[in-house]
Amino acid sequence: MAHFVELKQVKKIYQMGEVSIPAVDGIDFEIEKGEFVVIVGPSGAGKTTVLNILGGMDTCTSGEVWVDGRDIGSFKGKELAAYRRDDIGFVFQFYNLVQNLTALENVELALQICKDPLDAEQVLKEVGLEGRKDNFPAQLSGGEQQRTAIARALAKNPKLLLCDEPTGALDYNTGKAILKLLQDTCREKGMTVIVITHNQAIAPMADRVIKIKNGRVSRMERNGAPVSVETIEW
Amino acid sequence: MKKRALKKEFYMEIRKTLNRFLSILLINALGVAFFAGVRASRPDMRLSADAFFDESSLMDLRIMGTLGMTDEDAEAIEKVEGVKEVMPVYSIDMFGRLSERQLNLQVMSQPEEMNRIHVREGRLPEKRDECLADYKLLTSGLCSLGDEITLASGTEDETSDLVNQETFTIVGAGTTSYYMSLDRGTTGIGSGSLDGFLIVRPEVFEQDYYTQICVTAEGARELTCYTEEYDTLVDELVERIEAIEKERCDIRYAQIQAEGQEKIADAEKEVADGEQKLKDAGTELEDARVKLADAEEKLADGRKELADGEAEFADKEKEFLDAKQEVSDGWSELHKAQEELVKATYQIHNGYAEYEKNKAEVDAGYAQLAPLKEQLSQIEDGLVQTGEGLARIEEGIAQTEEGLSEIEDRLLEIEGARERYEELSGKPEDQRTEEEKNELAVLETAAPGWPSIEEELKKKQTETQEQQAGLTAQQTGLKEKEAELLKAKAELAPIVEENTAKLDAGAAALAEGKRQLDAGSDEVDAGNRKAYHAEQELLEAEEELADGEKKLADGRAELADARQTLKDAEAELADAGEEFARGEAEYEEALAENEKTLADARVKIADAKQELADLKQPEWYVLDRQYIQTYVEYGNDADRIGAIGEVFPVIFFLVAALVSLTTMTRMVEEQRTQIGTLKALGYGKGAIASKYILYALLSSLLGSLLGLVAGQKILPAVIISAYKILYNNLPDILTPLNPEYSVTAAAVAVSCTTLAAWAACYKELNAVPANLMRPAAPKAGKRVFLEYVGFLWKRLTFSQKAAVRNLVRYKKRFFMTVFGIGGCMALLLVGFGLKDSILHIGNGQFGDVFVYDGTVGIDKDADEGERRELADRIEEDERIAHHMRALETAVDVEAEGAPRSAYLIVPESEEELDTYIHLQDRETGEHYELDGRGIVLTEKLARLLGVSEGDTVILKEDDTKAVEARVAHITEQYFMHYVYMSRELYESLYGQAPEWNQWFMKNNRQDEAFEEELRTEYIQYDAVSDVDFISGTAKRVADMLRSMDLIIYVLVTAAGLLAFVVLYNLNNININERRRELAALKVLGFFDREVSAYVNRENVLLTVIGTGAGAGLGILLHRFVIQTAEIDMLMFGRAISPASYLYSVLLTFVFSALVNGAMFFKLRKIDMVESLKSVE
């Protein structure tokens, strides 16, 4: 088995009438299991598209997407949904918690559909929300909500944790705390975490940094000595 | 909107959100259509009827007098203010007999100015013997054009007193606005209910007074009937007419009195006439007796004459026979003579034959003799010839000698001449004298020839000498021959002479025989002639005999004739005698009868006098249209639809308003950012709000317009056509747009929606732009009440918990959906429930109440024997399992208020009644028995009359008979009204035993063929007037109630539409609102199925709750509809069957499932990328 995650010449071309707009124009990269990966790039570079494809939310026009030995690039509707539910944990910029459910219930919501879930309360405890588990999202702060979201993603026990600008809607300190949580999760659980951000500053904390520009990987580097997030300032 | 950009944006908005626009439009259309449509049904029904009434000029009121109406009354009424037209008419209820049926008919005079007949087939009667029949009779197959119908009085009156024409040809069929439905009301004759009407020429009626005077009111035509204005106008006219009643009635009373007196006088005179007639008849009878005696005498004379004639004929006949014998003898004699003659003729014939034979022999003898005779005569001839030859030879010898002498003379002459010549020549000349000279000259010339001549003569002399020698030889031969002949002659002559003598003797004998034969022949000829004469004479005699015979035959024929004539005369006389006897008997009988009649007449006259004395002052009944049954029923039906229209459409309206409100609210919420942006750009509140208000206004206005046109055109038409099954005469359905309902409905719909839009933007418009630009804080989650009920909450699965919370979270949606689904469920339940209720009329009526199979009606006019015959047949008929006689008659039942038509049933046996009809309480099922204490009323009748057990009602059969009875029980009944009474009670109330006119039957079989067979057989009995089967009635009821099916379909369709529009709309909103949440769920890995289950779980819950609520609402609505929609004659079942609940629930679920199914695709289309977007 080669790499845990490997993208080969992945392309996503949107056909708008007669004009073809390539959002992703032949991306190649690979990620090893248990890595903390940061994908950076300016707005519109195609990083979100990559994330969508990687997260099974979208399909690529051509190319191969290998995740844990399976080419999800060839998956369709239901296979993709199964892939999402079993292999992927997703953390949104805007948390996307179900407003009508408490923190605990939001986590449980995800567990409903999993084959091999973790204990919801335990996960909440790990993300530090032990005392807030019965609160509704509206009663939680942004950071708490994002923690809940991370808990929801982690509780599914996924192979891959994808985070789309997880700190985008949070203040500096909270953002740092969330990144810390993600890094810790990676380190402690051996979870492969991919964070998408436009914030170059957090690159040093990653095991691997992939820079995307104009729909191509402009640079990919392995960071031999990732630093702890606490040491990074931006 | 002056701003172009905004305007453009507005149009774009509509195009982009066409779904939403259309859903507002549609829900408004639906609400308005139902509101305006159902409400317009009542005025439309009234208008349609009014147009029909106006077209046929239905009278506004009619006046009936207890003693009839006269032309003078009509004139007086016409003068009353407000009366437009009057029309006196005759109308009598009579029996109409068709080939095999008897009908109860209302015979009316042909109307002219009003109550015009709408001719459907054929034409109006033009002659006295023509009539127009009720179209109903034609359509129900009772009669057809060209049939003959015979009228007969249904009362004690003589038919000829009522009409002067009894048989009519049906020339047309028509309808009248007086009868809009198929019901023709009750009558005092026959079975008690009318079968139809019959229009005849007015001159057919014999009565000298009119039955009623019909009146139209001035100005009534312009008003719509059933309205207050119309009722007021007519009521006032009624009062004015009633004002002249007293005066007219007094006049009528006096007139009747006068007429009565006159009639009595006439009757008395008639009695006198009758007596006189009887006397005359006696006289006539005597005359006849005398005439009969004369005839007998004449007959005796005739007989004698005949005897004489016969004797004479016998004489003549004898004479004839004698003559005939004579002729016959003559004939036989003649024949004998003729025979002899034939014999004689034969003999003669033989004689002749022999004579001929002998004669031939003689002749042969003569023939043998003839050669001998010939020889002889030849010999004699030879002799003669020989003699002659000898003579001639002698003559020849003589001649030869003469010739020899002449030659010698000549030779001498020549010698003489030569001697002279030589003489003369020797004389010398001068010596020669003259004569000698001449002589010499001649001798000189002749001298040369003298030698030749002499030569010749010498030659000749030798020849002759030779000739002379020949002749002498011949003479010798002949002389020898002659000798020979003489010798033969001597031999032959004696033989010939002997034979000739013998033959001559035979010939003489033959001649003698022939003479004798000739004589015999002559004799026979004479005999023949005689026989001929005798025959001739006999023939003549025979001819004479033939004449005689003919004459005799004539005589015989004459005699036979005479005998026949006599016989005829005898027969005639016998007949005459018989007739006379009969006449005499008749006379006796008539005498007895007439005397009785006369006595009766005298009694009648006395009665009439008494009656006249007792005659009550007449009264008038001024009856407006409220007394026309179908008019009232139709009005009630219209009111019922009106009542339904009060409640039903409100549901739709509420739903429409709520849907519009949510939709608009959602629209404004969705466009929060845009509102903020516009505000930030500096647009005024009005400009911003106008978009939403206009959007709402436009969609609701268009929807309203569509709805009110469609609703008011379609719904009343559907409802009225449903009623047309009942009111089949109603020709046209008018569905004009009703301005009042149109404007109200549209205004309410438009203002509701627009206000909702305004209210929705009001809040947003007041916020500061900055606030608006920020996403609205998501609605916070809340604990719901249920969570505190720990034991229950814990049992719910996680998804159920989520669903419950969601439901509570979106309260508006919750209520709206529950309301929509509840409405749908309620409408379906009402629809199916109505069908149940209607079906129950048939099932309940003919399954639980009327359990008999059929009835056999007994003819009112049947006599005891005929009734007995029928009874025997029914009793022994094995096909009829049970049978019972009963009285069934139409009655009017009255408590307080208007009377109701019903049928009174009196069973022969109270105990047996239960076999045919169950008397029982509908709810408790308690069984009732008839007893002498009171009557049993059917449920609907009791309710219409407003009476309950223990109350008293009045039963009227006609104007004269009215009895009061206590209501003992009220029994289950669904179709028509009945009053049940025990025999005992009937006898005590009416003072007479009930006259059975009906057999109730319970049969072994119920199939159509069996019933038809039974009907065909029984209808032939004289005592049977009709044979009816429950199956037939049940079918009629079912037909009648089909009208309701249509309304049910309308309800089910409406329910479906409602459910669909509401659910679709709400689900749409729901999904739009929760787009992010659903997208996030998808990202989490929920399958499409699970996502839609997540949403649908809520919908299913809502559907369940809505269905439950709808069931409750439906039960209430059903009850309301049943009570308002049922017509007087019927009582619907009150219960809704479990199946109907099931159907309603299932259908509601199906509608809901359909919408959710449609949503599945919408859910699938939700893009997961949505979840990544920031909140708008």
Residue B1: is its pLDDT beyond 50?
Answer: no
Quote the pLDDT of residue B256: 82
Residue B669: is its pLDDT beyond 90?
Answer: no
Distance separating alpha carbons of residues B190 and B998, to the nearest angstrom: 12
Strand ranges (E), chain A: 5-16, 19-31, 36-40, 62-67, 70-71, 88-91, 160-164, 192-197, 208-213, 216-222
Copy the structure tokens of residue B181: 């439905």
Taking CB atoms and an 8 Å cutoff, what residues of chain B touch A140?
none
Q: What is the largest CA-CA distance in chain B?
A: 254
Distance separating alpha carbons of residues A148 and A140, to the nearest angstrom: 9
Q: What percentage of chain B carries pLDDT values higher than 90?
A: 6
State the smallest CA–CA distance between residue A99 and chain B in angstroms: 5
| Full DSSP string of A90-140 | EE-TT----TTS-HHHHHHHHHTT-SSPPPHHHHHHHTT-GGGTTS-GGGS
Looking at this protein, which amino acid is placed at residue B208?
D
Looking at this protein, which amino acid is placed at residue B28?
N
CA atoms within 13 A on the CB side of B708: 21
User: By CA distance, what is A105's nearest residue in B?
Assistant: B798
B149 vs B1047, residue with greater confidence: B149
Pick among 1.10.630.10, 2.130.10.10, 3.40.50.2300, 3.40.50.300: CATH of A5-231: 3.40.50.300
Quote the pLDDT of residue B577: 83
Copy the structure tokens of residue B1060: 């669909």
| Full DSSP string of B959-988 | SS-EEEEEEEEEE---BS-EEE--HHHHHH
The enclosing H or E element of B583 equals helix B450-614
Copy the structure tokens of residue B264: 């009595």
3-state helix, strand, coil in chain A (%, to 5): 35, 30, 35
- Specify the 3-state DSSP secondary structure of A79: helix
CB-CB neighbours of B911 under 10 Å: 9
Contact B781 A109 (CB under 8 A): no
Distance separating alpha carbons of residues B41 and B722, to the nearest angstrom: 12
* Interface contacts A/B by beta carbons within 8 Å: 98
Under 8 Å between Cβ of A220 and A38: no
Taking CB atoms and an 8 Å cutoff, what residues of chain A touch B1078?
none
Q: Identify the residue whose tokens are 């009045």.
A: B954
pTM of the full predicted structure?
A: 0.60
Under 8 Å between Cβ of B95 and B102: yes
* Alpha-carbon torsion, ordered B279, B281, B282, B285, to 10 deg: 170
Average pLDDT, chain B: 84
The domain segmentation of chain B, as residue ranges, is: 54-254+616-627, 840-1033
- The phi, psi pair for B2, rounded to 5°, reads -85, -25
Residue B1175: is its pLDDT beyond 70?
Answer: no
Q: Could you read off the pLDDT of B585-629 as tens digits, one per residue?
A: 888 887 787 778 778 888 888 888 887 787 778 888 888 888 887
Under 8 Å between Cβ of B687 and B13: no
Reported ipTM: 0.85
Q: What angle do CA B19, B24, B30 make, to 5 degrees?
A: 120
Identify any residues that bridge with A193 across adjacent strands, giving them in sequence order. A36, A161
Average pLDDT over residues B333-341: 87
Q: Pick from B1090, B1169, B1171: which is nearest to A96 by CB?
A: B1171
Contacts of B166 (CB under 8 A, 6+ apart): B150, B151, B152, B159, B160
Distance separating alpha carbons of residues B34 and B745, to the nearest angstrom: 9
Closest-CA residue to A62 (of A31, A28, A90, A85): A28
Identify any residues that bridge with A28 across adjacent strands, giving them in sequence order. none
Query: What's the sign of the alpha-carbon dihedral B345, B347, B349, B352?
Result: negative
Contact B1083 A112 (CB under 8 A): no
- Specify the 3-state DSSP secondary structure of B827: helix
Specify the pairing of strand A5-16 against strand A62-67: antiparallel
Q: Per CB distance under 8 Å, which residues of A are interface residues toward B?
A: 48, 52, 55, 57-58, 77-78, 81-86, 88, 90, 92-94, 96, 98-102, 105, 108-110, 112-113, 136-139, 152, 156, 164
Under 8 Å between Cβ of B154 and B117: no
* Alpha-carbon torsion, ordered B517, B518, B524, B526, to 10 deg: -150
The enclosing H or E element of B1029 equals strand B1024-1029
Distance separating alpha carbons of residues B114 and B86, to the nearest angstrom: 8
Q: What percentage of chain A carries pLDDT values higher than 70?
A: 100
Closest-CA residue to B623 (of B955, B180, B242): B242
Average pLDDT over residues A80-90: 86
Q: Could you read off the pLDDT of A115-153 as tens digits, one per residue?
A: 778 888 888 888 888 888 888 888 888 888 888 888 888
Residue B651: is its pLDDT beyond 90?
Answer: no
* Alpha-carbon torsion, ordered B458, B460, B463, B469, to 10 deg: -80
Under 8 Å between Cβ of B638 and B224: no
Distance separating alpha carbons of residues B971 and B46, to the nearest angstrom: 35
Taking CB atoms and an 8 Å cutoff, what residues of chain B touch A78?
1087
Taking CB atoms and an 8 Å cutoff, what residues of chain A touch B1089?
none
Interface test with B, best of A99, A104, A148, A150 (most B CBs within 10 A): A99
User: By CA distance, what is A56's nearest residue in B?
Assistant: B1083
Taking CB atoms and an 8 Å cutoff, what residues of chain B touch A83?
1085
Q: Pick from A48, A81, A99: which is nearest to B781 by CB?
A: A99
Average pLDDT over residues B572-591: 83
Query: Residue B515: is it exposed, middle or buried by C-beta count within 10 angstroms (0-12/13-18/19+)?
Result: exposed
Contact A101 B1168 (CB under 8 A): no
- The phi, psi pair for B249, rounded to 5°, reads -70, -35
Q: Could you read off the pLDDT of B420-438 as tens digits, one per residue?
A: 888 887 777 777 778 878 8
CB-CB neighbours of B1128 under 10 Å: 18
Distances (CA, A) of B214 to B57, B370, B623, B625: 11, 153, 9, 11
Under 8 Å between Cβ of B306 and B564: no
The enclosing H or E element of B134 equals strand B130-134
Taking CB atoms and an 8 Å cutoff, what residues of chain A touch B782?
136
Q: Could you read off the pLDDT of B292-334 as tens digits, one per residue?
A: 888 888 888 888 888 888 888 888 888 888 888 888 888 888 8
Residue B856: is its pLDDT beyond 50?
Answer: yes
Average pLDDT over residues B78-94: 89
Average pLDDT over residues B340-360: 87
Taking CB atoms and an 8 Å cutoff, what residues of chain A touch B806?
100
State the smallest CA–CA distance between residue B821 and chain A in angstroms: 24
Q: What percentage of chain A carries pLDDT values higher than 90?
A: 1
Copy the structure tokens of residue A86: 């079993």
Average pLDDT over residues B1119-1146: 83
Quote the pLDDT of residue B728: 78
Taking CB atoms and an 8 Å cutoff, what residues of chain B touch A86?
1085
Angle between helices B629-670 and B739-766 (to 10 degrees): 20
User: By CA distance, what is B1081's nearest residue in A?
Assistant: A110
Which of B7-21, B353-367, B797-811 has the least mean pLDDT?
A: B797-811
Q: Could you read off the pLDDT of B488-535 as tens digits, one per residue?
A: 888 888 888 888 888 888 888 888 888 888 888 888 888 888 888 988
Q: Pick from A52, A58, A136: which is nearest to B781 by CB?
A: A136
Query: Residue B262: is it exposed, middle or buried by C-beta count within 10 angstroms (0-12/13-18/19+)?
Result: exposed
The enclosing H or E element of B872 equals helix B864-876
Quote the pLDDT of residue B360: 87
Q: In B140-193, which ranges are continuous DSSP H helix?
A: 159-162
Contacts of A117 (CB under 8 A, 6+ apart): A110, A111, A155, A156, A157
Terminus-to-terminus CA distance in chain A, angstroms? Answer: 38
Which of A199-213, B122-136, B636-650, B982-996 has the least mean pLDDT?
A: B636-650
Residue B718: is its pLDDT beyond 60?
Answer: yes
Contact B1175 A94 (CB under 8 A): yes
Contact B1083 A84 (CB under 8 A): yes
Quote the pLDDT of residue B706: 92
- The phi, psi pair for A32, rounded to 5°, reads -95, 160
Residue B171: is its pLDDT beyond 90?
Answer: yes
Taking CB atoms and an 8 Å cutoff, what residues of chain B touch A105?
798, 801-802
Contact B802 A48 (CB under 8 A): no
Contact B1168 A58 (CB under 8 A): yes
By residue count, chain B amounts to 1176
Copy the structure tokens of residue B605: 């006259």
Quote the pLDDT of residue B132: 93
Query: What's the sign of the alpha-carbon dihedral B91, B93, B95, B96?
Result: positive
Q: Could you read off the pLDDT of B757-813 as tens digits, one per residue?
A: 888 788 777 777 777 766 666 666 667 777 777 777 777 777 777 788 877 777 777
Q: Pick from A57, A90, A138: which is nearest to B1169 by CB?
A: A57
Residue B1176: is its pLDDT beyond 50?
Answer: no
Distance separating alpha carbons of residues B28 and B701, to the nearest angstrom: 8
Q: Could you read off the pLDDT of B929-964 as tens digits, one per residue?
A: 888 888 999 988 888 888 888 888 988 876 567 888
Reported confidence tier of residue A189, pLDDT bands at 50, 70, 90: confident
